[in-house]
Amino acid sequence: MTEGSENRKSVKILKMNIVITGASSGIGKTIGEYLVAKGHRVVGTSRHKEGVFGNLKIVRLDVTDDDSVEKFVPLVIQKLNSIDALINCAGFVISGPVENFSIEECKSLFETNYFGTIRVTTALLPHFRENGKGKIFNMSSMAGLIGMPFQAHYSASKFALEGLTEALRLELFPFNIQVCNINPGDFNTNFTANRKITAIIGEAYKDKFNQVLSMYERDENNGSNPIMIAKLVESLLYKKKLKVRYVIGKPTQTIAISLKRIFGESIFEYVMKKIWKVK
């Protein structure tokens, strides 16, 4: 065995200190439990839970509240001593026609999915800069690359993460802090059960909304095992250089991102109209 291969092997067994927001359910929970089982030290967060659940330690954190984030940061640094990676998973979806969304519903979605990510990330950046390293994983979505009818504001919040990540990568490059997006397709989690619906569904949209929502729920319930995402994240913990984004899911879904890039937006939109039966 060469000296280089020995060094690579020694790096591979390095265990990381990791913070995961939104770790009490869904993709965040799966990632947290998997990383703990692999020997990493993980602190997960939840708005409603606190304690040890299975093998995962959960600390209460409301990513929509400035004071909650301010109190959380010194606490988690004390628990882990040094943080190697932040995984921003806190998020949820509200479905409904754009016309029927209230501003309050729209704001509540962005407060968690977008501003929540910003609050936790910026609060931990001084720690990463002091350490001279760090990795930040933002849980975006394929819906952050493709606008989803009747989930427009969810898509918008994920599109916002795309721009945030691209800009942060450039700002943080001099400090050896890397940022990337994870863009899952449909995975079999409690995402469907936790979906919220706008308080009003106008009669003009009701039939089409129910049809499209039924398609979404079918694909979600038949989605891939989220352990795929957990394995991807662990592999990226050791990767020397992160790409901007990692699209993951069934090939029948992930190919859509390539098709949009290759054929252009007009042709792609035409195909999506056929798939979603938009007339």
Q: Which CATH number is 3-275 given? A: 3.40.50.720
Among 57, 155, 158, 216, which one carries the catalytic annotation? 158
Distance, in Å, from the CA atom of 15 to the CA atom of 6, rounded to the nearest integer, reads 17
Among 24, 25, 95, 141, which one carries the catalytic annotation? 24
Q: Is 158 a catalytic residue?
A: yes
Distance, in Å, from the CA atom of 177 to the CA atom of 84, rounded to the nearest integer, reads 10
Q: Is 5 a catalytic residue?
A: no
Q: Is 24 a catalytic residue?
A: yes
The tally of CA atoms less than 13 A away on the side-chain side of residue 155 is 15
Q: Is 154 a catalytic residue?
A: yes
Among 25, 140, 155, 157, which one carries the catalytic annotation? 140
Q: For every one of its 279 residues, what pLDDT tens digit does the chain have, with 9 covering 90 and above?
A: 455 544 444 444 689 999 999 999 999 999 999 999 999 999 999 999 999 999 999 999 999 999 999 999 999 999 999 999 999 999 999 999 999 999 999 999 999 999 999 999 999 999 999 999 999 999 999 999 999 999 999 999 999 999 999 999 999 999 999 999 999 999 999 999 999 999 999 999 999 999 999 999 999 999 999 999 999 999 999 999 999 999 999 999 999 999 999 999 999 998 888 888 877
Distance, in Å, from the CA atom of 273 to the CA atom of 275, rounded to the nearest integer, reads 6
The tally of CA atoms less than 13 A away on the side-chain side of residue 131 is 17
Query: Which residues partner with 94 through β-bridges?
Result: 196
pTM over cut 0.85: yes
Specify the length of the chain in residues. 279
Among 34, 114, 154, 216, which one carries the catalytic annotation? 154
